[in-house]
Structure 1
Amino acid sequence: MQSERAKVRMIKSEVLSDDWYSLKKYTFDYPRRDGEWQRQSREVYDRGNGAAILLYNLARQTLILTRQFRCPLWVNGHSGLLLEVPAGLLDNEAPEVRIKAEAEEETGYRIEQIQKVFEAFMSPGSVTEKLHFFIAEYDASLRAGSGGGIRDEGEDIEVVEMAWADALNAIENGEITDAKTIMLIQYVALKGIMRGSSCTHSSF
């Protein structure tokens, strides 16, 4: 259950950047638990909300992931090539509608039956984004294209089919480091959705 909205006195907001999305600096007074009002300022990046989906195949015990270049990771010393679940921003569409389109654009699978499992804020200290998390079964009959993303948007996405056991091990050995992907794989494991999965696996 969501708690009561904090009683904040907003003093001012300044636009620092409004290029791709919006970066603002907010100055506000916040009531501390001891009753004192304290002035604070925070930079907030607003890129809208998003959705992510894990595609799994029970019969083959496999998952569909993607691999693509992520510039912020490269800047932070990573190779830049990230294994992750299909995901994208909502762009003013319903999460269920947008994630089906994202799954097809990125993986080539046209998914109709999806299950929403939870919502989460991914970086609440500086980013407004809330993600809607989904899971869905896939099989070869749902393959409608090659995927790969939208070239005009700079996407160059590799579709990766991975064995379930390998995906669990990839979390342990650091091959999978994307938060939304780890969360969805662990959800499926904890719920025992894949045969042989359990919350006793050493990656949890």
Structure 2
Amino acid sequence: MYDINDVEIMASKPLYKGFFKCNKLTLRHKLFSGEWSQPIQRECFERGKAAALLAYDKAHDKVVLVEQFRLGAIDSGRSPWLLELIAGMIDEGQSAEQTVIREAYEEAGLVIENCQFMLSYYVSPGGSTETVDLFVANVDSTDVQGVFGLAGEGEDIRVHVVSRTEAYEWVKTGKINNGITIIGLQWLELNHKEGLNI
């Protein structure tokens, strides 16, 4: 199997730097024949690392979801307000676990003391560097409700507490249509019967 040593970055040109950044790369890579590819050019969206939390109430078999406006879904023909797991970008000097603990409080008023790493994945590796570290934590959802978020970041986030079965039904029907949440809820569907050690 090939690795990073089988790729040569020949040039990198910044195209945009704002809230996000985008670079144009000229590169070549090894082919499965063992030869090198011709130079190719690709734009790469530099999104960074994110972390997400599946807040699961084991005692009541419920999950905490958040709902917020998402610009990327505005042309979907459906609502751009999406139901999601708690998530955020990892700040410099902060771990993924610290990020989900911070975001749980900012987005849902949840105080998380312990969480368990689930998995890490690339969101869209064909053109973006973004990765997500996904965690799960046991929470008490009894009094979880309201609208949260940081006004300084333009956040307006509504909390929903729903049964695990209803949340997974929303995955199956397409009401939940974003990768982080689908992956987290599918993981829960596969693992909840094993008595999660969280």
TM-score (normalizing by structure 2): 0.90
Q: C-alpha deviations, 1:53-103, integer Å up to 9, x for none?
A: 101112211100000000110133331010000001001111111110011
Counterpart AA for 1:149: G
Distance 1:3 1:36, change over 3 A: closer
The number of equivalent residue pairs is 193
Q: CA deviation at 1:174?
A: 1.1
Counterpart AA for 1:35: G
Which whole-Å CA distance do the structure 2 matches of 1:94 and 1:133 have between them? 12
Q: CA deviation at 1:113?
A: 1.1
Match of 2:105 in 1: 104
Match of 2:56 in 1: 56
Counterpart AA for 2:66: T
Which whole-Å CA distance do the structure 2 matches of 1:142 and 1:160 have between them? 11
* 1:37 counterpart SS class: coil
Which whole-Å CA distance do the structure 2 matches of 1:6 and 1:151 have between them? 44
Q: CA deviation at 1:169?
A: 0.8
Mapped contact 1:58–1:194 kept (Cα < 8 A)? no
Q: CA deviation at 1:13?
A: 0.8
Pair 1:74-2:74 in alignment: yes
Mapped contact 2:62–2:141 kept (Cα < 8 A)? no
Distance 1:163 1:108, change over 3 A: same
Counterpart AA for 2:20: Y
Which whole-Å CA distance do the structure 2 matches of 1:167 and 1:84 have between them? 10
Which whole-Å CA distance do the structure 1 matches of 2:143 and 2:137 have between them? 12
Mapped contact 1:105–1:147 kept (Cα < 8 A)? no
Mapped contact 2:57–2:141 kept (Cα < 8 A)? no
1:7-156 matched pairs, under 5 angstroms:
7-38=6-37, 39-92=39-92, 93-139=94-140, 148-156=148-156
Match of 1:201 in 2: none
Q: C-alpha deviations, 1:5-39, integer Å up to 9, x for none?
A: 24222211111110112100100122212233221
Distance 1:169 1:104, change over 3 A: same
Which whole-Å CA distance do the structure 1 matches of 2:141 and 2:177 have between them? 27
Match of 1:199 in 2: none
Give the aligned CA root-mean-square deviation in angstroms. Answer: 2.1
Which whole-Å CA distance do the structure 1 matches of 2:188 and 2:115 have between them? 14
1:174-193 matched pairs, under 5 angstroms:
174-193=174-193
Structure 2 unaligned blocks of 5 or more: none
* 1:184 counterpart SS class: helix
Distance 1:47 1:71, change over 3 A: same
Identity fraction in percent? 31
Which whole-Å CA distance do the structure 2 matches of 1:168 and 1:140 have between them? 17
TM-score (normalizing by structure 1): 0.87
Distance 1:176 1:150, change over 3 A: same
Range 134-143 or range 181-190, more displaced: 134-143
Which whole-Å CA distance do the structure 2 matches of 1:37 and 1:130 have between them? 27
Runs of 4+ in 1 over 4 A off after TM superposition: 140-143
